[in-house]
């Protein structure tokens, strides 16, 4: 799922795990309150290898140029 913030500033964190075997995972029903630790534990992923953090902002239609 790509970042699609509603109006305002939102934080995004991308976490890269080294996989020991092929992981078959379904997309979460919703992104709010997604638990990365529980996901990693359920799929036996271990510790993260890399992390990227960024902010995304979408302004209301009346403030766009």
Are 57 and 8 a contacting pair, CB within 8 Å? yes
pLDDT digits 0-9 by tens, 14-33: 899 988 888 888 888 877 78
40 domain-assigned = yes
Specify the pLDDT at position 20.
86
d(CA 49, CA 40): 12
Number of separate domains in the chain:
1
The model's pTM? 0.64
Helix, strand or coil for residue 63?
helix
Nearby residues of 54 by Cβ (< 8 Å), 6 or more positions away: 11, 12
d(CA 2, CA 58): 14
Specify the pLDDT at position 34.
85
What would the mean pLDDT of 36-64 be, rounded to a whole number?
85
22 domain-assigned = yes
Specify the pLDDT at position 27.
80
Confidence check: pLDDT of 53 > 80:
yes
pLDDT digits 0-9 by tens, 1-18: 566 667 778 888 889 998
1 domain-assigned = no
2 domain-assigned = no
39 domain-assigned = yes
24 domain-assigned = yes
Quote the domain boundaries for residue 21.
Answer: 8-63
């Amino acid at each position: 799922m790509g970042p699609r913030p509603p109006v305002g500033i939102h934080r995004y964190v991308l976490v890269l795990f080294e996989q020991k075997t092929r992981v078959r995972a379904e997309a979460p029903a919703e992104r709010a309150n997604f638990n990365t630790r529980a996901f990693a534990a359920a799929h036996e992923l271990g510790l993260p290898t890399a992390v990227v953090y960024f902010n995304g902002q979408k302004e209301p239609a009346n403030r766009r140029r």
